[in-house]
């Protein structure tokens, strides 16, 4: 879906800004909002570019730089940290051979940290794009990654 099609879904009002940005971020496999798109959206809803940047930087699910097809966000807030016996982050880093903020060379996965994603009672948790995974174990994390790799998810 192109930018104009996305914008046409919403009235030109700032209260729809987050929905627009999420749609644009989801519209390509690179999961990001380009500077040109950001400026166009700002003009459409009648706010300054800096206000859109501010929204973008607040929401970890949004990015102004290209990412992988699957954006993995590992929760590092206290409940997940305390329940993370095996180290979710290290398992993913070992499996994908990338660091935090990096994308695999095949552009399939990006790895990021996030604040609480609302599943503290089922910690540790992570999100892949809009899908949330909880009660993670070493085997479960490896299985999830393999499912994305093989196109099963």
Q: Which of residues 121-140 bind ligand FES (CB under 6 A)?
A: 123, 125
Give the pairing of strands 109-114 and 70-75: parallel
Closer residue to ligand FES in complex, CB, 101/118? 118
Choose the binding region for ligand FES from 8-16, 28-36, 71-79, 89-97 (rule: CB under 6 A). Answer: 71-79
> Cβ closer to ligand FES: 108 or 120?
120
Q: Using the 8-state DSSP alphabet, how is residue 7 labeled? A: H
**Rounded distance between C-alpha atoms, residue 8 and residue 27, angstroms:** 14
Q: Report the DSSP beta bridge partners of residue 80.
A: none
- When binding is defined by CB under 6 A, the residue of 6, 17, 117, 145 that contacts ligand FES is 117
Residues 6+ apart with CB under 8 A from 139: none
Write down how long the chain is: 153
Judged by beta carbon, residue 117 or residue 145, the one nearer ligand FES is 117
Instruction: Compute the chain's Rg from CA coordinates.
Output: 17
Q: Does 6 bind ligand FES (CB under 6 A)?
A: no
**Is residue 62 within the footprint of ligand FES (CB under 6 A)?**
no
Q: What is the largest CA-CA distance in the chain?
A: 48
3-state helix, strand, coil in the chain (%, to 5): 45, 10, 40
Judged by CB under 6 A, the stretch of 13-21, 35-43, 93-101, 119-127 that binds ligand FES is 119-127
Minimum distance, C-beta of residue 82 to ligand FES, in the bound complex (Å):
9
What is the closest distance, in whole angstroms, from the C-beta atom of residue 13 to ligand FES in the complex? 31
Residue ranges in contact with ligand FES by CB under 6 A = 75, 77, 79-80, 116-120, 123, 125
């Amino acid at each position: 879906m192109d930018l104009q099609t996305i914008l046409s879904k919403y009235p030109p009002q700032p209260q729809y800004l987050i929905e627009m940005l999420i749609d644009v971020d989801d519209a390509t496999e690179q999961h990001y909002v380009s500077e040109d798109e950001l400026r166009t959206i700002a003009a459409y809803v009648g706010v300054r570019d800096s206000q859109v940047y501010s929204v973008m930087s607040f929401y970890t699910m949004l990015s102004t730089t290209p990412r992988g097809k699957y954006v993995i966000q590992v929760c590092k807030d206290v409940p997940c940290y305390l329940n993370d016996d095996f180290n979710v982050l290290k398992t993913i880093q070992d499996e994908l051979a990338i660091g935090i903020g990096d994308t695999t060379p095949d552009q399939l996965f990006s790895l990021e940290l996030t604040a609480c994603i609302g599943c503290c009672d089922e910690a540790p948790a992570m999100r892949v794009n809009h899908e949330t995974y909880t009660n993670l174990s070493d085997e479960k994390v490896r299985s999830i990654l393999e499912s994305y790799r093989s196109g099963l998810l």
